Amino acid sequence: CDWSRHRGVGAIAPTSTHRVNEAHVLAAQADISELPQIPDASTAILKSSWSPEVVDAMAAKCADLLISLGGHAPEQHTIPGSLELPFAAQCLIESKASPLDAVICFGVVLKGATLHFEMVSHAVTQGLLDVSLRTSTPILNEVLAVVDLNDAAERSRDDHYNKGIEAAAAAARII
Output the CA angle 175-10-140, nearest 5 degrees: 30
Q: Which of 31, 66, 38, 40 is nearest to 167 (CA)?
A: 66
**Whole-angstrom Cα distance, residue 17 to residue 81?**
35
**Whole-angstrom Cα distance, residue 83 to residue 9?**
29
**Whole-angstrom Cα distance, residue 121 to residue 114?**
13
Task: Tell me whether residue 116 is one of the annotated catalytic residues.
Answer: yes
CB 166 within 8 A of CB 29: yes
CB 92 within 8 A of CB 46: yes
Catalytic residue among 6, 18, 77, 116: 116
Annotated active-site positions, please?
A: 116
